[in-house]
Structure 1
Amino acid sequence: MKIIGKIGKGKKEVEEKDVIKPILLKEVARKADIAEGERAVEDILRCIYRNQPISTKKIGQYVKLPLPIVAKVRTLLERAKILDREEKGAVLTEIGKEFVEKELKLKMKHDLTCPLCNGKGIVLDEMFEEILKKQKEYAKKRPIANTTIDQSYATPETAIYRAALMAQRGDLEGKRVLFVGDDDLTSIPTALTNLCEEVVVVDIDERLLKLIDDVSKKENLNIKTIKHDLRNPLPEKLKNKFDVIFTDPPYTLNGMKLFLSRGIEGLGDEGVAYLAFSHKPIDEWIEVQKTLSEMGFVIYELIPGFNLYEGSEIIGNTTFLARLIGKNLKPIIGDTEKIYTGEVKPTLRYYKCLKCGKIHEVGDKIKRVEDLICECGGQKFSMVKRKKIKN
Structure 2
Amino acid sequence: MREAGMRLSGGRELAATLGLSGAALDPRCASCDGTGIALPEVWKELIDDLAPAFQRRPSVDPALDQSHGTLETALRRAAYLLSQGLLLGKRLLVLGDDDFTSLAAAALAGKVAPTQTSLTSIQVLEIDERYLSLLREDAERRGLSLETQLYDAREPLPDALHRRADVFITDPPYTLEGLSLFLSRGLHGLDRSQTRDVLLSYPQRPPIQNWELQYAMLELGLSILRVFPGFNRYHGAAMHANVSTLYHLQVTPAASPLHQGKWKHAIYTGEHRPATRYRCKGCRHEVRVGRDGEFTTVRDLKSAGCPECGGRVFLRVGK
- Report the equivalent of 1:295: 220
Give the counterpart of 2:270 among 321, 338, 342.
342
- Report the equivalent of 1:262: 185
- Report the equivalent of 2:155: 232
For residues 272-291 of structure 1, what are the structure 2 equivalents within 5 Å?
A: 272-291=197-216
Distance 1:380 1:131, change over 3 A: farther
For residues 1-391 of structure 1, what are the structure 2 equivalents within 5 Å?
A: 95=4, 98=5, 110-126=25-41, 128-194=43-109, 197-269=120-192, 270-328=195-253, 329-333=255-259, 336-346=264-274, 348=276, 363=290, 364-371=293-300, 372=302
Distance 1:208 1:100, change over 3 A: farther
**CA contact under 8 A between 1:296 and 1:326: conserved in structure 2?**
yes
3-state secondary structure, aligned to 1:190: helix
| Alpha-carbon distance in 2 for matches of 1:117, 1:203 | 29
Deviation at 1:344, TM superposition (A): 2.2
Deviation at 1:333, TM superposition (A): 2.8
3-state secondary structure, aligned to 2:296: coil
Deviation at 1:140, TM superposition (A): 1.7
Deviation at 1:115, TM superposition (A): 1.5
| Alpha-carbon distance in 1 for matches of 2:8, 2:218 | 40
Deviation at 1:111, TM superposition (A): 3.1
Q: TM-score, normalised by structure 2?
A: 0.78
Deviation at 1:199, TM superposition (A): 0.6
Deviation at 1:339, TM superposition (A): 0.4
| Alpha-carbon distance in 1 for matches of 2:67, 2:151 | 19
* Aligned-pair identity (%): 36
| Alpha-carbon distance in 1 for matches of 2:98, 2:256 | 26
Deviation at 1:318, TM superposition (A): 0.9
Deviation at 1:350, TM superposition (A): 7.5
| Alpha-carbon distance in 2 for matches of 1:232, 1:362 | 26
Deviations 1:49-107 (A, max 9, x none): xxxxxxxxxxxxxxxxxxxxxxxxxxxxxxxxxxxxxxxxxxxxx84xx47759xxxxx
Tell which has more relative contact order, 1 or 2 (C-alpha 8 A, sep 6+): 2
Q: Runs of 4+ in structure 1 displaced over 6 angstroms?
A: 349-353, 374-381, 384-387
3-state secondary structure, aligned to 1:172: coil
Distance 1:380 1:303, change over 3 A: farther
Deviations 1:193-249 (A, max 9, x none): 225620110111111111110011100002000111111221111111111111000
3-state secondary structure, aligned to 2:69: coil
Mark the runs of 5 or more structure 2 residues left unpaired by the alignment.
10-14, 16-21, 114-118, 282-286
**CA contact under 8 A between 1:347 and 1:386: conserved in structure 2?**
no
Distance 1:377 1:115, change over 3 A: farther
**CA contact under 8 A between 1:128 and 1:160: conserved in structure 2?**
no
Distance 1:214 1:281, change over 3 A: same
Mark the runs of 5 or more structure 1 residues left unpaired by the alignment.
3-93, 103-107, 354-359
| Alpha-carbon distance in 2 for matches of 1:209, 1:143 | 11
| Alpha-carbon distance in 2 for matches of 1:379, 1:220 | 43
Distance 1:135 1:283, change over 3 A: same
**CA contact under 8 A between 1:131 and 1:160: conserved in structure 2?**
no
| Alpha-carbon distance in 2 for matches of 1:202, 1:379 | 34
Distance 1:281 1:141, change over 3 A: same
| Alpha-carbon distance in 2 for matches of 1:264, 1:186 | 19
Which residue identity does 1:228 align to in structure 2?
Answer: Y
Distance 1:350 1:310, change over 3 A: farther
Which residue identity does 2:299 align to in structure 1?
Answer: E
**CA contact under 8 A between 1:258 and 1:336: conserved in structure 2?**
no
Which residue identity does 2:128 align to in structure 1?
Answer: D
| Alpha-carbon distance in 2 for matches of 1:362, 1:100 | 49
Distance 1:350 1:331, change over 3 A: same
Distance 1:282 1:176, change over 3 A: same
Q: TM-score, normalised by structure 1?
A: 0.64
3-state secondary structure, aligned to 1:339: coil
**CA contact under 8 A between 2:31 and 2:39: conserved in structure 1?**
no
